[in-house]
């Protein structure tokens, strides 16, 4: 990989214990990011207890693509820690975080870059909305509650939460570093903490659809960690009261 000061884009890809073969996703990321970066990009895959075959597949892909660097957490720590590990080492002015996404729609990353150029610091791509909307400070507060409590409610109403995980995040480097130097949550709910910190430090956030049309997600399995999400929301509030976030 080229020296960090020559990189315009960095891609961070956490590889957890449930990941499959990462090569199709790596191909899609390479295909969408390379034209935007003029070839000046790097991919940081962070192995956080990935299966041996997934690790070997990533290594084989890296042997054919100089853009990939494979990092490894010494012990399993969770997707939040893996994201922090990669982002704080990333050298690009634009940092794309891919959190175990399904197949990436054609042109999605380019559309996210357009939104980033329009005076935003963080763009999140969500499969659960069909329009692009800003998340100002007051609305982010509501989003935090909805994202944390939605899965709890889904247990009782028997349907998916209206707001869920956002598989792609695109950051300006300054915003990414300031946010990830402060996150404390290592598990999947770290996305809620990212939104909280973006609000706290006044970084403009935009949520954009994963695809242009509404998606029927009624067959998705329910979130297996609803109470964990609620607990993490309480951790964020407790950390704020203790002054953990500076």
Which CATH architecture is the domain 1-100 placed in? Alpha-Beta Complex (3.90)
Cβ proximity of 163 and 124 under 8 Å = no
CATH 3.90.550.10 domain residues, the chain: 1-100
Strand partners, 41: 9
pLDDT, mean of residues 237-246: 75
Lowest mean pLDDT among 86-90, 152-156, 179-183: 152-156
- Residue 140 C-alpha from the chain's centroid: 16
pLDDT digits (tens, 9 = 90+) for 63-92: 999 899 999 988 889 999 999 999 999 999
CA–CA separation, 115 vs 130, rounded Å?
Answer: 16
pLDDT, mean of residues 29-36: 96
Band of pLDDT at residue 133, cut at 50, 70 and 90: confident
Band of pLDDT at residue 39, cut at 50, 70 and 90: confident
Closest to 192 measured CA to CA, from 141, 137, 127: 141
Q: Tell me the pTM.
A: 0.83
């Amino acid at each position: 990989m080229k020296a960090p000061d020559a990189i315009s884009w960095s891609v961070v890809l956490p590889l957890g214990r449930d990941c499959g073969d990462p090569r199709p996703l790596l191909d899609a990321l390479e295909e969408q990011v390379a034209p935007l970066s003029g070839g000046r990009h790097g991919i940081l895959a962070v192995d956080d207890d990935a299966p041996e075959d997934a690790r070997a597949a990533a290594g084989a892909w890296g042997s054919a693509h100089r853009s990939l660097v494979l990092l490894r957490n010494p012990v399993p720590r969770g997707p939040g820690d893996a994201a922090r590990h990669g982002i704080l080492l990333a050298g690009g002015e634009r940092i794309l975080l891919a959190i175990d996404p399904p197949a990436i729609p054609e042109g999605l990353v380019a559309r996210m870059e357009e939104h980033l150029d329009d005076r935003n610091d963080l763009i999140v791509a969500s499969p659960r909305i069909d329009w692009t909307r800003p998340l100002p400070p007051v609305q982010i507060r509501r989003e935090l509650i909805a994202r944390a409590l939605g899965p709890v409610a889904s247990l009782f109403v028997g349907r998916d939460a209206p707001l869920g995980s956002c598989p792609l995040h695109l950051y300006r480097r300054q915003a990414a570093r300031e946010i990830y130097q402060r996150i404390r949550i290592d598990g999947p709910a770290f996305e809620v903490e990212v939104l909280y910190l973006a609000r706290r430090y006044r970084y403009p956030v935009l949520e954009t659809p994963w695809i242009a049309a509404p998606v029927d997600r009624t067959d998705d399995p329910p979130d297996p960690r609803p109470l964990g999400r609620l607990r993490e929301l309480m951790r964020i509030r407790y950390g704020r009261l203790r002054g953990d976030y500076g």
